[in-house]
Amino acid sequence: AQTVTQSQPEMSVQEAETVTLSCTYDTSESDYYLFWYKQPPSRQMILVIRQEAYKQQNATENRFSVNFQKAAKSFSLKISDSQLGDAAMYFCAYRAPYYTGANSKLTFGKGITLSVRP
Amino acid sequence: NAGVTQTPKFQVLKTGQSMTLQCAQDMNHEYMSWYRQDPGMGLRLIHYSVGAGITDQGEVPNGYNVSRSTTEDFPLRLLSAAPSQTSVYFCASSYGSGANYNEQFFGPGTRLTVL
């Protein structure tokens, strides 16, 4: 079974600085999807960024980028120029390839709470 | 469109009571899922459906029932509520089938407390 591990329960960053959130996963598949979701105090789950495993290039969305290391099964999120609005819980998630029949569901890590200091 | 909607937003139950959490989506998504979120546990899959009439168990299905009679609706039933079911419940949906990536859209969640 796939597992997703986020070993840091909390992190803190100074406003305007850069922070990296770590995530590792375990799978026997070679073609899959990885995601970072943000959950602010409103509780809404917001997709931040996604990475297709078959793509070697790391995904980037504005101030958010990932460091995808497929061989190491590592998928970290870098937030540049941190803003107060980035304070939230962040979840790493895995989605199996469609041919496994398991692509209808996500496996989540336990999450990390990010605080941003003004 | 409204996306994924959930009702109610908050609910307090007594042990042994039953209730149904409603979930609806207006995006014609094939896949729908229910997750529960507990402190320090992330989101865990309860039940999921790949289309009308098709449901399956996830990681933590005990104490919950689901059915999918239409594409739009995917209600979650608590048969006899227990304090261990105190949690925040999320419904999610996405397009299915095929090899393309399909984003999962989440509802706003339901906070359930069982006394």
Distance, CA of A52 to CA of A59 (rounded, Å) = 9
Q: Residue B27: which residues within 8 A CB-CB, separation 6 or more?
A: B1, B3, B4, B93, B95, B105
Q: Do A43 and B98 touch (CB under 8 A)?
A: no
**B96: nearest CA in chain A?**
A104
Task: Report the pLDDT value the prediction gives residue B98, as an integer from 0 to 100.
Answer: 60
Q: Residue A19: which residues within 8 A CB-CB, separation 6 or more?
A: A11, A13, A78, A79, A82, A114
pLDDT in tens, A19-54: 999 999 999 998 899 999 999 999 999 999 999 998
Amino acid at B25: Q
| Mean pLDDT of chain B, nearest integer | 93
Token pair recorded at residue A25: 């996963």
Give chain A positions within 8 Å (CB) of B41: 110
Percentage with pLDDT > 90 across chain B: 83
In angstroms, the separation between the Cα of residue B44 and the nearest Cα of chain A is 7
pLDDT in tens, A44-95: 999 999 999 988 899 999 999 999 999 999 999 999 999 999 999 999 999 9
What confidence category does residue B54 fall into, taking pLDDT thresholds of 50, 70 and 90? very high
Task: Report the pLDDT value the prediction gives residue A105, as an integer from 0 to 100.
Answer: 84
The Cα-based distances of B114 to A79, B11, B25 in angstroms read: 38, 8, 27
A96-100, B31-35, B65-69: range with lowest mean pLDDT = A96-100
Q: Do A44 and B108 touch (CB under 8 A)?
A: yes
Task: Report the pLDDT value the prediction gives residue B97, as an integer from 0 to 100.
Answer: 64
Using DSSP, state whether B109 is helix, strand or coil: coil
Interface of A with B in 36-65 (CB under 8 A): 42-45, 47, 50, 52
